[in-house]
Structure 1
Amino acid sequence: MSNMPADNSMTELQLLDADTATGRSERAKWLLTSPDPPAPWHQLFSSIKQTLLPQPKPKQPRPNRSFLFMQTLFPILKWGKNYKAAMFKNDLLAGLTLASLCIPQSIGYANLAKMDPQYGLYTSVIPPLIYAVMGSSREIAIGPVAVVSLLLSAMISKVIDPSVDPVTYRRTVFTVTFFTGAFQTLFGVFRLGFLVDFLSHAAIVGFMGGAAIVIGLQQLKGLLGLSHFTSKTDVVSVFGAVIKALHQQWYPLNAVLGCSFLIFILITRFIGQRNRKLFWLPAMAPLFSVILSTLIVYLSKADEHGIKIVKHFKGGLNPTSVHQLNFGGPHVGEAAKIGLICALIALTEAIAVGRSFASIKGYHLDGNKEMVAMGFMNVIGSLTSCYTATGSFSRTAVNYSAGCETVVSNIVMSITVLICLLFFTKLLYYTPLAILASIILSALPGLIDLHAAYNIWKVDKLDFMVCLGAFLGVLFGSVEIGLLVAVIVSFGKIMVSSIKPSTEVVGRLPGTDLFCNIVQYPVANKISGILITRINSGTLCFANASFIRERILRSVTDENNTDESSKGRLHVLVLDMTNVMNIDTSGIHAMEELYKQLIAQGIELAVVNPRWQVITKMKAAKFVEKIGANWIFLTIGDAVDVALRLKINGLNNC
């Protein structure tokens, strides 16, 4: 009778162990019987459907599909129903303030793009109107920007010299703009926004800083009144051209006039930053500078004494440019390549600007929808004598400070610029080029973010190398070299992390069921006879499979060498694949080789939590059959329990 309680206790333990084993088996079955993931074509179709035809929110009546599609394509149909007169008052003020900054900047940026002045204003009429009905940002201001203007002039000038053949140059600019819009639309429709992320934050900071200095150096031509100047953008060529020009005939009056108004614009900006209520002062300063300097030149006849002026300035409505697009010429390949680069740079700037102000206002900006809007805007712009437009940070900041409520401010700005084109372009005949140079120079400090560069240096030294590479590439090479250096270094960083990912040995934290890196958490305990290894890579593929296999086998060897006693001999390798999102045939082959080498050493392989794509491919490759379905586990805890039981049984048999 004395043995009865002990027998009952053993029976309870056996029942408990049986329940635990049943639970483990059930959890493993959930993993092994999961349905097949959707096919790639199905995912692509669903992605496009979500972009163009999103589902209505729960508890809302299902609208007509065509109307839902129209609302998605033209967000103005959605928010326009709630638009009020009080909102229009704020948008009107913001739009007029925006136009006062946009008009002189657009003329200056057209000059930077080596286009006639009116094309800068054309670009500030049609694209903002298209974006107003298709875009989802409330604050972003659309039009020509400095960096894209520099990109166009720097890259297209290598194909066609604008001073030799301005007509072909202009046609190529429109063709590049068409390709830019087409690529942007495709990026949005097929949800390829991740392509923009290849230009990392560090790369953009370096590129923008280098581009700002290059743009500033290019403005020395207008600021000093030089007639002949280099078309190259690197700092060495520009300084060489300036020194050469200064030994020839140049006109100091241009520098005096330009620097005077540059100081005036910078002072008004300082006042506006110190007193937010005077936000309109720095916004109005460029237009005031243009008007006042034009009057001075006209009344004093300074153009006869060396002051360089705009001269002929064609006005009127945007003329059609459909017939100017050139898809059959010898330069169409170059135009497509430049269009792709411009598409990425323009989208990166616009989405960064839009999201930064959207976060301030507390709403979400869909990057894919923005790409579609930007793409349509540039495609239609290319047909109406516009060159590539995007969101401008400086003008968006003015728009926000002026209290804009919606993109109606863009419509007001567009109409104001159109009125200027219709009635006031003749008044701009005597506008000095030095003033346009000073307006561009005044906008450049916003492109140089020293604080961001310092933060990148503090956080990630390798990221800072990307930033520095882009900066020096633009400064001492060219715009495309700077971009190329940034992308190559960024890809190099990705390749290093993917080809040589880390694997870590994990242990159990005392008193918990948590398993963590033993190096990061020294209190974590390793379990004798069991090695738990985690793969820290999103994919197990041809690029890193062999390296990961060798790292794991080295860990196994080190573990066996650490404790040579029979009790410390390794019985089970638990491989945590929680972080592995996908695997290819090379990865599965590496797993098979790992399994064979472990079995040859008398070590079992337990695989933990292979993700959806991974377990599906493992089953298709019969790898699950090779190792046995009973060695696939949902959690590390389940795998360790079975491994401990195997070890105990092995010791008992000994």
Structure 2
Amino acid sequence: MRTSSSNENTSGAMELEEGCEFSDRQKTVVSVLSSKEPPTLWQDITGTIKEKVNNSNGKSKSFSLSKNVSSTLRGIFPILKWGASYNLAMFKSDFMAGLTLASLGIPQSIGYAGLAKLDPQYGLYTSVVPPLIYAIMGSSREIAVGPVAVVSLLLSSMTQKVVDPTIDPISYRNLIFTATFFAGLFQAGFGIFRLGFFIDFLSHAALVGFMGGAAIVIGLQQLKGLLGITHFTNNTDVVSVMKAVWEAIHQPLRPYNFVLGCSFLIFILVYRFISKRNKKVFWLAAIAPLISVVISTLVVFLTRADKHGVKIIKHVQGGVNRNSVADLQFNGPFVAEAAKIGLIVAVIALTEAIAVGRSFASINGYYIDGNKEMLAIGFMNIAGSLSSCYVATGSFSRTAVNYSAGCKTTVSNIVMAFTVFISLLLLTKLLYYTPTAILASIILSALPGLIDVGEACSLWKVDKLDFLTCMGAFFGVLFGSVEIGLLVAVAISFTKIILNSIWPRIEILGNIPGADIYCSKRQYPIAVDIPGLLIIRIDSSMLCFVNSSFIRERVMRWVDEKLEASVEESEFKLKAVVIDMSNVMNIDTSGIAALEVIHKNLASEGLQMKIVNPGWQVIHKMKLAKFVDCIGEKFFLTVGEAVEVFLAPVTVTVEK
């Protein structure tokens, strides 16, 4: 009887509504339709810039000039915040962590410089200036800054396509410095204008695949040093590398390189295994590379193994970082290429640094601001490009050592930088007899941490499209190039976004018995229909030209199915359609046109159209397009309210 009364008096409900008998209902309509005009896109952009510059959280009016300047400086230089409470006990911890960090960083920096096809000293330079800049501007306490394997490979693989380092090493080096300057410029720009979402285009799944593919390519390239090969391919794909190795093994080999390299690789891995089993001796893994360099250099020097085919580093230029301002090339033919390389490297470096920083920040229970990190990393790379450094970023392996060594603040980076600086002044001549096979073994020992098979398996279980993105990046790097791997990963990620935009989730809602809750009937089978009412929810943040046709067709198909199902049961005949737009944050003219078509089609069938909780921008554009005038005051804050108004005549009829 309740349902029948409801359907027979639906028109009465409208009359009551139009006659203003529902005072609360009228207040709701006024609150929905009379909201103030939302901010424009330009206002949003300028507002975020002002917030970043002022760092005042909307309270700048109550701040004096001196306090405002002080607040801004503290935002840009976090060292001013914690520096006041810094004490001797913290310095002792940071000092020991910095020395431990240097013992790992010095041999790694030399090896990564070779990976970037630069002379060894440039890797050491990159471990001096960028860590000092980051120490005063960075917000992460644990992150350790310096050259890393993936960025070194990325730089060399792209730059050598423009300038061959074997033919013109000076132009190649200058192009690296210029690309580093552009990388820093982009990174700082991302931080200043709060454009951190750019790095999100490289998803977690893409990064997992990219790192895994890059690790294998890096490992294969180390066969050059491990086997003592003189001539090797500049290509980074696995086919070219394996072909070069195959050709090399058919030539006279130098077995001492292989024996030396493999021996110390096993030595480093054993020390690492012991450190993982016993956390108290974590420092064994940190100093193992340095011990390997020292012992192998002594062996080669004492036995004169370089006379018997063992390849050595030879000359390493010592001294302080030299000024490289004059080396930057902004007027040459390769400026556009340098900017492109800088942009790609900037995104990869930021992604790795922020991922590392946030991982360790979460362990210690604090949060780092991604935009401030971008600013710090950007300025350290700009300063680095002016002082003979190439792109630096946060290293996961060195950060893990820094954390395990008990660092308290970024002072550990300062200690590490000064230790490397002293080594540049006093110890570079001792590296003359260091075998290149040892550098290869040090790089190889760091690669297993980049290949995360467990995470790839987790991606397969959780999201197949994410796994496809991961594999696209992996095989793109492995069989194409680093750039192809990145492009494939980004292309798959964008395809995923486009597919979700073109075919958004649309659900028919039902009522959970005994509660004023309306949920998807597919997700919750216990949800029941409201007789005479079809409730539809659009699960898309934007109703636009991409998905408007799909949404319109899906809604009208469900309406037609509902009408056909209710032909023989007149008491359950469809009377109204409720469209829940709570998730729709924006709309364009195509979306409004789709709603107009839906409204006209419903009106032709004698059905009402009710809209629930449209977003701020959505209701504003509906008013501008006169769509509100078209459908009248059929707007509600909740689905429950729309259903209550629809069923309201029942109460009135029973009372009479």
Do these two structures clear the TM 0.5 threshold for a shared fold by scoring above it?
yes
CA distance in 1, matches of 2:330, 2:552: 51
CA distance in 1, matches of 2:622, 2:383: 49
Q: Which residue of 2 aligns with 1:127?
A: 130
Q: Which residue of 2 aligns with 1:55?
A: 56
Q: Which residue of 1 aligns with 2:155?
A: 152
Q: Which amino acid aligns with 1:47?
A: T
User: Is 1:577 aligned to residue 606 of structure 2?
Assistant: no
Q: Which residue of 2 aligns with 1:337?
A: 340
Q: Which residue of 2 aligns with 1:35?
A: 36
Q: Which sections of structure 2, spanning at least 5 residues, go unmatched?
A: 1-14
Q: Mapping of 1:425-574 within 5 angstroms?
A: 425-564=428-567, 565-574=569-578
CA distance in 1, matches of 2:376, 2:626: 47
SS in 2 for 1:256: helix
CA distance in 1, matches of 2:651, 2:560: 22
User: Is 1:96 aligned to residue 109 of structure 2?
Assistant: no
Q: CA deviation at 1:645?
A: 4.8
Q: Which residue of 2 aligns with 1:4?
A: none
Q: Mapping of 1:293-372 within 5 angstroms?
A: 293-372=296-375
Q: CA deviation at 1:50?
A: 2.7
The answer on whether the counterparts of 2:56 and 2:68 sit within 8 Å (CA) in structure 1 is no
Q: Which amino acid aligns with 1:581?
A: M
Q: CA deviation at 1:19?
A: 9.8
Q: Which amino acid aligns with 2:374?
A: M
SS in 2 for 1:504: strand
The answer on whether the counterparts of 2:51 and 2:58 sit within 8 Å (CA) in structure 1 is no
Q: Which amino acid aligns with 2:51?
A: Q
| 1:625 pairs with one of 621, 624, 629 | 629
User: Is 1:45 aligned to residue 49 of structure 2?
Assistant: no
Q: CA deviation at 1:460?
A: 1.1
User: Is 1:611 aligned to residue 612 of structure 2?
Assistant: no
Q: Which amino acid aligns with 1:566?
A: S
Q: CA deviation at 1:647?
A: 9.8
CA distance in 1, matches of 2:649, 2:124: 78
Q: Which amino acid aligns with 2:643?
A: V
CA distance in 2, matches of 1:171, 1:229: 23
CA distance in 2, matches of 1:645, 1:271: 74
CA distance in 2, matches of 1:176, 1:57: 37
The answer on whether the counterparts of 2:228 and 2:310 sit within 8 Å (CA) in structure 1 is yes
CA distance in 1, matches of 2:391, 2:290: 23
| 1:194 pairs with one of 191, 194, 197 | 197
CA distance in 1, matches of 2:650, 2:182: 65
CA distance in 2, matches of 1:18, 1:259: 89
Q: Which amino acid aligns with 2:147?
A: P
User: Is 1:286 aligned to residue 320 of structure 2?
Assistant: no
Specify whether residues 485 and 143 from structure 1 end up closer, same or farther in structure 2 by C-alpha distance, changes over 3 A only. same
Q: Which amino acid aligns with 1:35?
A: K
Q: Which residue of 2 aligns with 1:7?
A: none
Identity %: 63
Q: CA deviation at 1:34?
A: 1.2
Greater alpha carbon shift after TM alignment, 135-144 vs 299-308: 299-308
Q: CA deviation at 1:240?
A: 0.6
User: Is 1:165 aligned to residue 144 of structure 2?
Assistant: no
Q: Which residue of 1 aligns with 2:646?
A: 643
The answer on whether the counterparts of 2:144 and 2:395 sit within 8 Å (CA) in structure 1 is yes
Greater alpha carbon shift after TM alignment, 36-45 vs 541-550: 36-45
Specify whether residues 585 and 647 from structure 1 end up closer, same or farther in structure 2 by C-alpha distance, changes over 3 A only. farther
CA distance in 1, matches of 2:19, 2:230: 92
Q: CA deviation at 1:62?
A: 4.7
CA distance in 1, matches of 2:20, 2:588: 37
SS in 1 for 2:55: coil
The answer on whether the counterparts of 2:16 and 2:22 sit within 8 Å (CA) in structure 1 is no
Q: Which residue of 2 aligns with 1:112?
A: 115
SS in 2 for 1:523: coil
The answer on whether the counterparts of 1:607 and 1:631 sit within 8 Å (CA) in structure 2 is yes
Specify whether residues 577 and 272 from structure 1 end up closer, same or farther in structure 2 by C-alpha distance, changes over 3 A only. same
Q: Which amino acid aligns with 1:602?
A: G
Q: CA deviation at 1:599?
A: 1.2
Q: Runs of at least 4 residues of structure 1 off by over 4 A?
A: 14-20, 645-650
1:357-392 superposed Cα distances (whole Å, 9 cap, x missing partner): 000010011001100111111111111100000000
CA distance in 2, matches of 1:51, 1:212: 37
1:25-73 superposed Cα distances (whole Å, 9 cap, x missing partner): 2122111111111222222122123333322799xx9561111111111
Q: Which residue of 1 aligns with 2:23?
A: 22
1:563-617 superposed Cα distances (whole Å, 9 cap, x missing partner): 2133232221100000101111111111112111211221111110001111111
CA distance in 1, matches of 2:393, 2:618: 41
Q: Which residue of 2 aligns with 1:175?
A: 178
Q: CA deviation at 1:646?
A: 7.4
Greater alpha carbon shift after TM alignment, 335-344 vs 15-24: 15-24
CA distance in 1, matches of 2:434, 2:27: 80
CA distance in 2, matches of 1:523, 1:21: 31
Q: Which residue of 1 aligns with 2:590?
A: 586
Q: Mapping of 1:391-430 within 5 angstroms?
A: 391-430=394-433
CA distance in 2, matches of 1:46, 1:101: 44
User: Is 1:241 aligned to residue 244 of structure 2?
Assistant: yes
CA distance in 1, matches of 2:532, 2:652: 13
Greater alpha carbon shift after TM alignment, 44-53 vs 471-480: 44-53
SS in 1 for 2:22: helix
CA distance in 1, matches of 2:23, 2:125: 73
SS in 2 for 1:533: strand
CA distance in 1, matches of 2:459, 2:17: 55
SS in 2 for 1:376: helix
The answer on whether the counterparts of 2:510 and 2:518 sit within 8 Å (CA) in structure 1 is yes
| 1:373 pairs with one of 376, 381, 384 | 376
Q: CA deviation at 1:248?
A: 1.4
Q: Which residue of 2 aligns with 1:216?
A: 219
SS in 1 for 2:212: helix
The answer on whether the counterparts of 2:323 and 2:387 sit within 8 Å (CA) in structure 1 is yes
Q: Which sections of structure 1, spanning at least 5 residues, go unmatched?
A: 1-13
The answer on whether the counterparts of 2:51 and 2:57 sit within 8 Å (CA) in structure 1 is no
Specify whether residues 467 and 65 from structure 1 end up closer, same or farther in structure 2 by C-alpha distance, changes over 3 A only. same
TM-score (norm 2): 0.94
CA distance in 1, matches of 2:438, 2:16: 89
The answer on whether the counterparts of 2:91 and 2:411 sit within 8 Å (CA) in structure 1 is yes
CA distance in 2, matches of 1:428, 1:638: 78
Paired residues in the alignment total 636
Give the alignment's Cα RMSD to 1 decimal: 2.1
CA distance in 2, matches of 1:286, 1:51: 42
Q: Which amino acid aligns with 2:235?
A: K
